[in-house]
Amino acid sequence: MINPTPLMRLVAGVWGFKTLAVGVELGLFTRLANGRTLTVDEVATEFGLAERPADLLLAASASLGLLEKAGDGYRNSELAEQFLVEGRPYYFGAQIRYSDLRTYLPWHRIGEALRTDRPLTWDPQAQQSMFDTTDPQMLLEFWDAMYSTSSFTARALADAYDFGAHTRLLDVGGGAGAFPIEFCRRLPDLRATILDLPHVCVRAEERIAEAGLSGRIGTVGGDFLADPGLPDGHDVILLSMILHDWDEPTNRALLAKCHAALPAGGAIVICELLLNDERTGPPEAALMGMNMLVETEGGKNYSGAEYAAWLADAGFVDVHTVPFDAPGANGAVVARRA
């Protein structure tokens, strides 16, 4: 018999996120790195908590697969050890922190966004875009969150698509450079350019220098929407988690610029959380689309078929989709200029 338990699981979804977020805020998973195990009493003492909340936090974290029981104590699960310990290569905490600080409270007003078709995290009448803010700390949180999500997504994309077939990559809206850094670490002959707003390029250059790749990855400050064209001299263009920010006419105009900037045989790679062709899922893509209602003026998540049609209309050929599994994308739509 059908029952409302699935609905209760949806109700409890926010509880799970907030348990994860407070664990990151406290530094719980970082403190438990490298196999360290703590009992409820030890956690209470170390974090300045009473015994009851310490017990509830540990039990809830274990139920979510973030911790595991070891005798009378708790230690990190493999998931937490790899992705929730600060300093790990694919640390995901920045995304969790940003979502907690900026996105979740506006989501409480999702009905307002549905009725007005206006974003909730910024004011279009006072700001030029969602990337325009007077709060530099929040802007830093945003780019660190994007880097956090993009690092492992770049790894998954590099496993799924052979960037070794190319020599010069242009990452349009490349943020802090997670994708070029991951690719260039793997491929010694690849060179890359990040095109993004000038203040974002400053952050990218810091990340690139930390990775020891300043000689192979460069930046170009610009606005890929407002500028008349894109930098040339590249044989592959990456649009990763970019097109879901904009409406169809804006995206079609950007794809036309990509086509004009590529040489014959050059490739374009659109990396996104893709909806199925029926627009019924998967949930991660559909819910990211709802998040675009909160965060953007015209953004939404699109299907692979929609991207394929736009690419064909822009003059690209050999359009196909490469599936993979990552936090920021579930596939890439790939095409080439004839």
pLDDT (tens, 9 = 90+) of the chain, 338 residues, equals 899 999 999 999 999 999 999 999 999 999 999 999 999 999 999 999 999 999 999 999 999 999 999 999 999 999 999 999 999 999 999 999 999 998 999 999 999 999 999 999 988 887 776 666 556 777 778 878 889 899 999 999 999 999 999 999 999 999 999 999 999 999 999 999 999 999 899 999 999 999 999 999 999 999 999 999 999 999 999 999 999 999 999 999 999 999 999 999 999 999 999 999 999 999 999 999 999 999 999 999 999 999 999 999 999 999 999 999 999 999 999 999 99
- Which residue's structure tokens are 């095409």? 335
Strands 67-70 and 168-172: unpaired
Q: Supply the pTM of this predicted model.
A: 0.94
Distance CA 259, CA 2 (A): 51
Q: List the beta strands (DSSP E) in 80-119.
A: none
Contact 157, 179 (CB under 8 A): yes
Q: Which two tokens stand for residue 270?
A: 């659109």
Q: Each residue of 131-151: b (16+ CB within 10 Å) or e?
A: beeeeeeebebbbbbbbbbbb
Between vectors from CA 12 to CA 9 and to CA 14, what angle results, nearest 5°?
130
Residue 132: per-residue pLDDT? 62
Residues with Cβ within 8 Å of 91's Cβ and at least 6 positions away in sequence, in order, are 83, 84, 85, 148
Q: Read off the amino acid at residue 239.
A: L
Q: Where are the alpha helices (H) located in 124-276, listed in sequence order?
A: 136-160, 178-186, 198-210, 248-261
Closest by CA position to 254, among listed 278, 233, 277, 237 = 237
Residue 134: per-residue pLDDT? 59
Contact 317, 336 (CB under 8 A): yes
CB-CB neighbours of 164 under 10 Å = 13
Q: Read off the amino acid at residue 121.
A: T
Residue 130: per-residue pLDDT? 65
Residues with Cβ within 8 Å of 167's Cβ and at least 6 positions away in sequence, in order, are 189, 190, 191, 235
Closest by CA position to 277, among listed 301, 258, 297, 243 = 301
Closest by CA position to 81, among listed 96, 70, 66 = 66
- Which residue's structure tokens are 């062709």? 277
Residue 139: per-residue pLDDT? 74
Q: Read off the amino acid at residue 315.
A: G
Virtual torsion, Cα 30, 31, 37, 38, nearest 10 deg: -130
Residue 109 DSSP label: T
Distance CA 58, CA 45 (A): 14
> Of residues 108, 166, 234, 244, which has the active-site annotation?
244
Q: Is position 320 annotated as part of the catalytic site?
A: no
User: What domains can be seen in the chain, in order of their start residue?
Assistant: 5-83 (1.10.10.10), 141-337 (3.40.50.150)
Residue 131: per-residue pLDDT? 65
SS3 18: helix
SS3 98: helix
In order, the DSSP letters of 166-186 are -SEEEEET-TT-HHHHHHHHH
